[in-house]
Structure 1
Amino acid sequence: MKSMRVLMTMVYRELKRFIRSRARVLGSLLNPLIWLIFFGKGWAGAFNFPGAKMIFGGVDYMTYLVPGIVAMTVFNMGFMQGITLIWDRQFGFLKELLVAPASRVEAIIGRSIGGALMALIQGTIILALSFTLADLKLSGVVPTLLLAFLVGIAVSGMGMAIAMRMTSMEGFQIIVTMLMLPMTFLSGAFYPISTMPKWMQYLAKINPLTYAVDGARYYLAGINPTFSLAIDWGVLSLLAVIFVGIAAVEFRKATID
């Protein structure tokens, strides 16, 4: 019971801190909306010719793009969980947690779940707004959000594992930016994986975001998945366990500097 209180306390803290930061909430929502409106609408016009839908699985480009943007939103915000860990280290909260008679594993799992829920809230808002822009399936909302939650947990764990090795917020942001951009473009969020060069297709297959986009696109747009749904769910579930496990190991080894 005590360990569960630790977990729930960390989840509550992450959500409360996020909700209180209005600038962070607004900024995190504007970024995917900019991608949808300026990037999506612009390319939707470019792909408005006979036969274009065949490139994107039989749907228009906006319908093709939205599932990728939703997954990207959760992915990007999950990564930012590492910044909060560095912030806590600089302002002392992390030191208090390290000396507290509480399970470090439960604490890191709580932070992962809190980060995933924050990312999921934003992804849900973007998805709700996207129904005005694209022809999406309402029945696909719940499974898409469940996939997004798995991505959020996995990427939150990845972000925190990286942050535990970093000493500055600037260094973390540089590393994360170097990872986020190629992983986003390799995921198939903006164009089909089948149109990529062979070497890029191999990289796409080891990208966690690829499997989230693949499943979300099937549920929301009805496009046949590149992989099977079982593979999408299985890979994301496995990665969530692995990355949170790595973050927990790193956190258990942490010392008070």
Structure 2
Amino acid sequence: MKGLITMVYRQVKRFVNARSRLVMSIVQPIIWFVFFGMGWSRAFSFPGARQMFGGLDYLSYLASGMVAMTILTGSFMSGLSVIWDKQFGFLKETLVAPASRKEVIIGRALGDSLVVVFQSLVILTLMFFLAPGLNPYGVVPAVLYGLMLALGFASIGIALSTKLSSMEGFQMIVNLITMPLLFLSGIFYPINTMPDWMKILAYLDPATYAVDGMRYWLTGVSSIDPALDIGLLTVLTVIFLVFAAKVFEEATIED
């Protein structure tokens, strides 16, 4: 387990030393919440609007989604560190190191996931001041859903970056993937208000189950059984981890 523990420690230490990364990861969701959330909250202030959001005001509905958004975007972008390591030769060292590649990739994904979950906790703390209706007793189970989401998408981000060498290309692909995932997951509006064809895509989106589960524990509102949320999320996370481990196992020094 030394390889796993070492990679977890390295990823966490890199985050501690990169303070600008913490600042930017907090600023982006806050900008979305202030300019998007507060603007639309006025649009949804008419009588009966709360029924669309399970009885919640729009800010409370959006707040739990912003936490999931932080985790989704942050975990996916963790693949950038792999490309960075390629350019400076560290990835080659991990490929030839006397440690299991599975340990290395799982440790890397876990370390990045812990970092992203910490960032989401900072966002969640701020949300308690900005949005009413959040349940402080739901923080722990919500974090569990967030950790599963982070592990899954960090694995995909790392697997994708293993095959790429351009940071610009990686960022373009990630943006292309994450935008539909964000809007389909129910972060900004309920799934039951979507067109039928979009609902099908929403239920194929792994982030949907994390958002729904986190929203249930933080607000009490859910459109899917929370047990089904965590079950499907766990299965998908394991699949993503196995896929990332396989890709990393097959990676060569020339990649």
TM range (shorter): over 0.9
Task: Output one character per residue of 1:87-112: Cα deviation in whole Å (capped at 9) or x when no partner.
Answer: 11111000011111111000000001
Q: Which residue of 2 aligns with 1:32?
A: 29
Q: Structure 1, unaligned stretches of length 5 or more? A: none
What RMSD in Å do the two structures reach over aligned CA positions? 0.8
1:237 maps onto 2:219 in alignment: no
Q: Which residue of 2 aligns with 1:249?
A: 246
Q: Which residue of 1 aligns with 2:128?
A: 131
Q: 1:13-92 alignment to 2 at 5 Å?
A: 13-92=10-89
Q: Which residue of 2 aligns with 1:219?
A: 217
Q: Which residue of 1 aligns with 2:187?
A: 189
Which one of 103, 107, 111 corresponds to residue 108 of structure 2? 111
Identical amino acids, percent of aligned pairs = 51
Q: What's the CA shift for 1:236?
A: 1.0
Q: Structure 2, unaligned stretches of length 5 or more? A: none
Q: What's the CA shift for 1:243?
A: 0.8
Aligned residue for 1:131, secondary structure, equals helix
The runs of at least 4 aligned residues of structure 1 exceeding 3 Å deviation read none
Task: Indicate conservation of the 8 Å contact 1:161/1:243, yes or no.
Answer: no
Q: Which residue of 2 aligns with 1:167?
A: 165
Q: What's the CA shift for 1:50?
A: 1.0
Task: Output one character per residue of 1:150-198: Cα deviation in whole Å (capped at 9) or x when no partner.
Answer: 0000000011111122121111111110000010000010000011111
Task: Indicate conservation of the 8 Å contact 1:148/1:212, yes or no.
Answer: yes
Task: Indicate conservation of the 8 Å contact 1:36/1:69, yes or no.
Answer: yes
Which one of 134, 148, 154 corresponds to residue 150 of structure 1? 148
Task: Indicate conservation of the 8 Å contact 1:105/1:248, yes or no.
Answer: yes
Q: What's the CA shift for 1:9?
A: 0.7
Letter matched to residue 62 of structure 2: L
| Cα separation, 2, equivalents of 1:157 and 1:243 | 6
